[in-house]
Structure 1
Amino acid sequence: MASSTADAKPTPAIDTVVVTTEGNDLNEKALASADVSSPVDGDFPLKWKLTALTCGIALSWGSSFSENTLGPLKSTLKSELGIDNAQYGTISSATSLVNTILPILGGYGLDYYGVEWGSMVCSIFVFLGAVISAAGSNQDSFSLVVGGRVVMGFGSTVIESCTSKILAHWFQHRGLGLVYGADLAVGKLIVLIAKATAVPMRDATSFWGWALWIPAIVCFANLLQNIFYVWWAWSRPEWAHIPTGQQLARNAKQRQALQAEKGEAVVVDHATVRRHTALPDWRSLLRVPRFFWLVVCSQTLQAGVVGGFNGLSADIITVTRGSTAQLAGYTSAVQNVIPVVCAPLIGGFFDFFGYRMLFVSLTSAIWILVYSLVGYTQTNALGSMVIASLASAMNALPFLASIPLMVNNQVELGFVLGIWKAFNNSGSVVVDMVAGRLQDITAGNTYERVIAFFVAMKALEFCLGLFYGVLDRRYVKFLGGILTMSETKRMAVEKAGKLKDPVGRKPSKNFTAFGLAILSSLVVVAWVLFIRYSL
């Protein structure tokens, strides 16, 4: 329960580092290097939490609105810019291209410099990219439209990590499923509005480019909102600020200076100390938990499949049902209705009952049904999109609610989320290119082969969800069952010290090496395909 006053200071969690001393008998607790992260026994005032929730989930509204107007405009972009399906794939995946690498660097920057600075930089890039892309519509320039999307990509994905860090900090790993569900619900509402209004914005005047200029105006309004959040966050007491690596590094130097003044020689075991430097310390990769590497590597291309279908659904409906572009846009937009209501409920289910990984398999089964209905039957597309909206409500939420449990340190969460997003964005580029090429080589430019590819990928994910659940539940030493437990049970187990140190939360050089090899290969393939079809 939130405190009723803003003056009650929470008790910080201390992550103590081994320190060896020479000479004097030092007070180890006072001199130990510590990572001051989230309050554990205390809590923030409810008013603060609600403000952070509102501002946090609003950070990416502009980029989300701008990106999701593209799907219903596919036929317009092809005709106005004189491009084919593969080249349209370069437009839809352009924001993901730079985010094959950038989220890792950006995530480290968020951890070191702070979410506030990071979110401002991201918002500026999103706005500039939206303006450049919109300017391309005035010139009917494919290069400008793609270039603007690339610039937008420098902020669009990292700003999502800002939201995740903000929610994880202000809610202290309590009710994360619910607040992440609320974030997902609002995000789907923005997608719904974007898809439903894309064609009307195009047809409002004789100039089709308003469908790109209006989202650019929304990105500017989003920038102003972000400025308000930064002012609000910095105006909180210092103990309530999100911890940063810069702060920890400054504290370490102050301790060293104090020890030097006292003539106390302290030798720190650097093998056990987290390094917090302005430039990325790649040894941080060696602290990433092995279970995270297992999940992120096995989920390669899965996010791209869902994103690819979301972007193509309007055109698929047009091709398979003969619908008008506007009607197809409205129908595909229905896919985002149910998540607005269901996502917070599903997140709350994770908090109260657990079973996060079970929903991975359940969601995959629903997606297979949706792809089959839309691609291989003539059933009403509206009904298929309603079913798809249920899958959308559950799609990313199990992973968003689980990653902070795998990586229970606020100062390293942005870095790990960056790796997750780098995998997802690299996979999205590959899927967009593959889907466009599969459609181009299919007689009549139909979607049979594209749908078959999507179904095959989701069949694989169905098996993976069961595998994750078995590792978590059956092999207790691997992850301790934390992904299956309810929030109440998990916190009780951790407080009682029964969880100990599960193997899945420990780093592994072999897992890290394998994960980096997969990511490097994926990035190379993504860039090669993008360059191949954008020139």
Structure 2
Amino acid sequence: MASKTSSTTDVVDTPAQVGQTLEADEKAAAAATVAAADSQSQSDNTSEIVRDFPWQWKAIALCSGIALSWGSSFSENTLGPLKSTLKKELDIDNVKYGALGSATSLVNTLLPIIGGYGLDYYGVEWGSLVCSVAVFLGAIISAAGTNQSTFGLVLGGRVVMGFGSTVIETCTSKILAHWFQHRGLGLVYGLDLAVGKLVVLIAKATAVPMRDASSFWGWALWIPAIICFANLVQNIHYVWWARSRPEWAQMMTTSRRRALEAKQEQELRNPGQEHTKIKGPGFAGFLTALWKICFHVPRLFWLVLVTQILQAGVVGGFNGLNADIISLTRGSTAQIAGYTSSVQQVIPVICAPLLGTFFDFFGHRMFFVSLTSAVWILVYCLIGFTKVHALAGMIIASFGSTMNALPFLVSIPLLVPNQEELGLVFGFWKASNNCGSVIVDMIAGRLQDITPNQTYERVIIFFVCVKGLEFCLGLFYGVLDRKYLGGILTMSERKRLVLEKQGKLEDLPGRRPSKKMTYTGLAILFCLVVIAWVLFIKYSL
């Protein structure tokens, strides 16, 4: 009996023992959970470390990405100082010159949208090659038109060039955003802007000397065509380099991601079986995905887009006309006016990276939108309505050029942090800017033609009014940022990264999509495209 009792005692635990066992089990489970969390954290950290590319790769990507658009930028910016030459040699008026200056922008009223999402969908590398080929062919056709002094051929070449010139800028934006992972974008975009301004400076300063290098004025377009060929060769090298990186370092395109998801789903359904090769979605799938992803674009991006319609066009229009304005108002020769107008590009070469670094360290991006507008209003008034030396106005304009596009370039990846949408939204941005450029060029040419003695007074008044509106918009954007974006456009990069790690920026109202804002933005953009094409056809034929 005693043995039975003893045996029973060995088998059946007392309540106290049960409690101790449960407590021990809970502690063990808690310890296992902590260990699993630590392991997951270490795995995440390892993934993050692997994802942080070597600085040598970043340096190559930075140099290659910035260099993508050198050829197109150089070719486009030789036209401004050659306005009088082009009017004389091609026998055209101011409106037709406006059509020539905006020809590259015309096809880019819609193409950046399709092209931008094409970069997301099929890949940046191959897209950049297509763009480089289009730029080179367009430059060759346009240069060939100078041999016969044929306006139609020169214009056609600029249109062909337009098929690549704007989308290739989106390639640069995506390349930099990928290799720098949204960190230090202010600095790298500032470097991109600085080098771009340096290319513009060289183009404007050398346009007239290229024209006068021989008895044939067409060398001013043939030399840029040669530079476009060199740019194509450089781009081929970048594509080879990027495709030779490990797969984890390459940009995941939308089509490849969907093909991988389909393959994984097939393997889960039929494990251990031989699977058929998954084909990527065709063009119909591309268009369907494009339409659907439009409704993922944040509402505040659409608001900024539709309120910035003419702003870039006004700056671009002035940059194309400033040499002629200086020549007409100051009596300068075409060569002196070209040199003076090119000064506008000097300060951005130094200040743009500094401004980008300022945005990274201190923020206040939208404040510079209003400040830039005030600077441009001052420049327009000095150049158009006073006899102040043009050099002073161009130096001030160089500060405006530094601050003009950069606040938006560094803000768009913050508004739309998803890489699979970034090419599309940059495409919308470029398309809107190009529509505005065509419209502004046509309006400016028409205003000059109907002004007595074809002076620029009415054109300058138009420019001042548009920039006055943007001054108010900059203040408005600051209010929206604080209310709907948690101040991410105002705060420094360090503070933003801390808040992101704490999960406080996960569901910002301004980043949410809105069907109403999407339909409104698409409708306004469609109307802009129609207006741009109607004005271009009316005044160029």
The TM-score with structure 2 as length reference comes to 0.88
Identity of aligned residues (%): 72
| Structure 2 residue aligned with 1:34 | none
1: CA distance, partners of 2:202 / 2:492:
34
1: CA distance, partners of 2:419 / 2:245:
18
2: CA distance, partners of 1:185 / 1:194:
14
- Preserved contact between residue 179 and residue 344 of structure 1 (Cα < 8 Å): yes
Range with greater deviation from structure 2 (448-457 or 248-257):
248-257
Structure 1: any 5+ residue segments left out of the alignment?
Answer: 1-38, 264-274
2: CA distance, partners of 1:464 / 1:493:
27
Pairing of 1:363-374 with structure 2 (within 5 A): 363-374=372-383
Which of 449, 453, 456 in structure 1 is aligned with 2:462? 453
| Structure 2 residue aligned with 1:421 | 430
User: Secondary structure of 1:160's partner?
Assistant: helix
2: CA distance, partners of 1:66 / 1:180:
22
2: CA distance, partners of 1:466 / 1:114:
37
Q: CA deviation at 1:466?
A: 0.4
| Structure 2 residue aligned with 1:12 | none
- Preserved contact between residue 302 and residue 427 of structure 1 (Cα < 8 Å): yes
| Structure 2 residue aligned with 1:272 | none
1: CA distance, partners of 2:498 / 2:265:
37
Count of matched residue pairs: 484
1: CA distance, partners of 2:82 / 2:490:
41
| Structure 1 residue aligned with 2:397 | 388
Q: CA deviation at 1:243?
A: 1.4
Q: CA deviation at 1:252?
A: 1.2
Pairing of 1:311-460 with structure 2 (within 5 A): 311-460=320-469
1: CA distance, partners of 2:454 / 2:287:
48
Could you list the per-position Cα deviations for residues 385-411 of structure 1 after superposition, in whole angstroms to 9, with x for gaps in the alignment? Answer: 000000100100000000001111112
Q: CA deviation at 1:40?
A: 5.1
Which of 497, 511, 516 in structure 1 is aligned with 2:522? 516
1: CA distance, partners of 2:349 / 2:468:
26
Pairing of 1:184-199 with structure 2 (within 5 A): 184-199=193-208
Which of 482, 485, 495 in structure 2 is aligned with 1:479? 485
| Structure 2 residue aligned with 1:31 | none
The TM-score with structure 1 as length reference comes to 0.89
- Preserved contact between residue 246 and residue 276 of structure 1 (Cα < 8 Å): no
Which of 458, 479, 485 in structure 2 is aligned with 1:470? 479
| Structure 1 residue aligned with 2:85 | 76
Runs of 4+ in 1 over 3 A off after TM superposition: 39-42, 275-280
1: CA distance, partners of 2:167 / 2:270:
42
- Preserved contact between residue 472 and residue 481 of structure 1 (Cα < 8 Å): yes
1:501 maps onto 2:507 in alignment: yes
2: CA distance, partners of 1:383 / 1:484:
32
Indicate the RMSD between aligned Cα atoms, in angstroms: 1.4
Q: CA deviation at 1:331?
A: 0.2
2: CA distance, partners of 1:284 / 1:453:
36
Q: CA deviation at 1:276?
A: 11
2: CA distance, partners of 1:460 / 1:127:
38
Which of 101, 108, 111 in structure 1 is aligned with 2:120? 111
1: CA distance, partners of 2:411 / 2:288:
25
Q: CA deviation at 1:277?
A: 3.9
Letter in 1 for 2:522: L
Which of 83, 99, 103 in structure 1 is aligned with 2:108? 99
1:297 maps onto 2:306 in alignment: yes
2: CA distance, partners of 1:49 / 1:439:
47
| Structure 1 residue aligned with 2:212 | 203
Q: CA deviation at 1:249?
A: 1.2
| Structure 2 residue aligned with 1:526 | 532
Higher helix share: 2
User: Secondary structure of 1:287's partner?
Assistant: coil
2: CA distance, partners of 1:494 / 1:40:
15
| Structure 1 residue aligned with 2:286 | 278
Letter in 2 for 1:418: G
Could you list the per-position Cα deviations for residues 433-465 of structure 1 after superposition, in whole angstroms to 9, with x for gaps in the alignment? Answer: 000000000000100000000000000000000
1:491 maps onto 2:497 in alignment: yes
User: Secondary structure of 1:481's partner?
Assistant: coil
Could you list the per-position Cα deviations for residues 230-263 of structure 1 after superposition, in whole angstroms to 9, with x for gaps in the alignment? Answer: 0110011010001111210111111121122049
User: Secondary structure of 1:278's partner?
Assistant: helix
Pairing of 1:30-41 with structure 2 (within 5 A): none
Structure whose alpha-carbon radius of gyration is higher: 2
1:137 maps onto 2:146 in alignment: yes
| Structure 1 residue aligned with 2:97 | 88
Could you list the per-position Cα deviations for residues 193-241 of structure 1 after superposition, in whole angstroms to 9, with x for gaps in the alignment? Answer: 0000000000010100000000000000000000000011001101000
Structure 2: any 5+ residue segments left out of the alignment?
Answer: 1-46, 273-282
- Preserved contact between residue 199 and residue 329 of structure 1 (Cα < 8 Å): yes
- Preserved contact between residue 94 and residue 146 of structure 1 (Cα < 8 Å): yes
Range with greater deviation from structure 2 (433-442 or 276-285):
276-285
Range with greater deviation from structure 2 (243-252 or 420-429):
243-252
Q: CA deviation at 1:498?
A: 1.4
Letter in 2 for 1:485: M
Letter in 2 for 1:395: N
Range with greater deviation from structure 2 (105-114 or 186-195):
105-114
User: Secondary structure of 2:96's partner?
Assistant: helix
Could you list the per-position Cα deviations for residues 255-285 of structure 1 after superposition, in whole angstroms to 9, with x for gaps in the alignment? Answer: 121122049xxxxxxxxxxx99434520111
1: CA distance, partners of 2:523 / 2:362:
36
| Structure 2 residue aligned with 1:252 | 261
2: CA distance, partners of 1:95 / 1:352:
36
| Structure 1 residue aligned with 2:162 | 153
Q: CA deviation at 1:500?
A: 3.1
Letter in 2 for 1:60: S
Letter in 2 for 1:520: F
